[in-house]
Every structure is written in C-alpha cells, then in structure tokens.
Amino acid sequence: MKEGAVMADDLDRYLEKQLADPGFRAMWDEGEAEYQARRAVIDARIAADMTQTQLAKASGVDQRVISRIETGGTNATVRTLGRIAQGLGKRLEIRFV
C-alpha cells in the first residue's frame, strides 16, 4: 500500500473516532455547509478549467476573495456565490436536504 493511502486510512479512522464525541460532532456538523460551499466553488472552477484569476474576471469578484472562499478564510454571501456561478456560466441553486 502506498504511503498516501496509509495516511488517508489513518485519517479516516481518526476522524471516525472523533465523530463519536458529541461535542466534536456538533462542531463538525456546524461547519459542513461552509465546507460544501467551498468545495462547490473549487470543483466548479476546476471543471470549467479556470484559474482563480480567470474566474475573478468573469464574475467580477476579486481574485483575493475567491481565494479566501476556497481556503476557508471567509464565508461567501449568497450574492457573491451567485456572481461566481454566473462567472462560471451556471446559476446558484440552494437546497435543503
């Protein structure tokens, strides 16, 4: 098994153990929506084969703001996510599941 696979397996086991703690689980769940928003921006940008700079030009959102959204340095507003979606040629859809 490759070293990266071993590390991922160790992380999975560690995370599973931590999530059994109700306090940790609550904090984890609290941050899930922000994480999903960040992942959606990153995944859509990569799928569009765009750099952050290209997305900034297309969306009118400063590249530094896009970077902070992607790295978790800030939580994006719905308005900003909508502008990013438009820059990607998409529309923003928010759902409760």
Contact of 44 with 87, CB cutoff 8 Å? no
pLDDT at 27: 92
Domains and CATH numbers, the chain: 1-30 (no CATH), 34-97 (1.10.260.40)
pLDDT at 4: 63
pLDDT at residue 57 greater than cutoff 60: yes
**pLDDT level of residue 6 (50, 70, 90 thresholds):** low
Beta carbons within 8 Å of 90's beta carbon, 6+ residues apart = 44
**pTM of the predicted model over 0.85:** no
Residue 27 tokens, joined: 């904090």
DSSP-based three-state secondary structure for 89: coil
In the chain, which ranges are continuous DSSP H helix?
3-19, 22-30, 32-47, 52-59, 63-71, 78-87
- Mean pLDDT on 55-66: 98
Mutual orientation of helices 63-71 and 32-47 as an angle, nearest 10°? 130
- Mean pLDDT on 8-35: 91
pLDDT in tens, 24-42: 999 999 889 999 999 999 9
